[in-house]
Amino acid sequence: MTSHLVSLSVNRVARTLAVSPQVSLLTLLRNDLGLNSPKYGCGLGECGACTVLVDGVAARSCVIPACGVAGRAITTLEGLGSPGALHPVQQAFIDEQAAQCGYCLSGMIMMTAALLARKPDPTDEEIRSELSGNLCRCGTHLEILKAVRRAALLMQKTSQAAVQAGSP
């Protein structure tokens, strides 16, 4: 089996790894880099548990060949914020207690971050549509919806504060 050197950025850290052509991005992240937030769920890209950001766009890492992301920027939940400075989406999910078992949580947060980056003030229907491909069996759907709304507000406040701080 031939390995290929793949260079990419993972959570803003440049990495070069020898990767077999059959290895998925999910396997690389979990097994080679020890990043356990993306979960193996269905292995078919259907459940959303493995969602990461590839160049800022939500993507199912279980169906993406690791060799296919050479030169790209990958962000996992571990790289979205930091323990001392959570991303507003992470904070909102905590504030709204939008998790029970937590298996879908990383994917939900990553999908939410991607949504709010391109649409800062989504409607409830847009939120539901965006998250409809992420399966949650625990019944925290209402809390997740509240968390997305709260995250949108937190991100707007953060953006406004940054603009005011830059103003003379």
pLDDT in tens, 130-156: 999 999 887 778 999 999 999 999 999
Higher pLDDT, 82 or 162: 82
pLDDT, tens digit, for every residue of 89-137? 999 999 999 988 888 999 999 999 999 999 999 999 999 999 999 998 8
Mean pLDDT, the chain, rounded, equals: 93
The answer, yes or no, to whether residue 168 has pLDDT greater than 60, is no
Please give the Cα distance from 120 to 114 (Å, whole number): 10
Backbone angles phi, psi at 4, to 5 degrees: -120, 145
**Location of each CATH 3.10.20.30 domain in the chain:** 4-80
The CATH 1.10.150.120 portion of the chain extends over 88-166
Q: The tokens 């980056």 sit on which residue? A: 117
> Looking at domain 88-166, does it have CATH number 1.10.10.10?
no
Name the fold adopted by 4-80: Ubiquitin-like (UB roll) (3.10.20)
**Strand ranges inside the chain, DSSP E:** 4-10, 13-19, 51-54, 57-60, 73-75
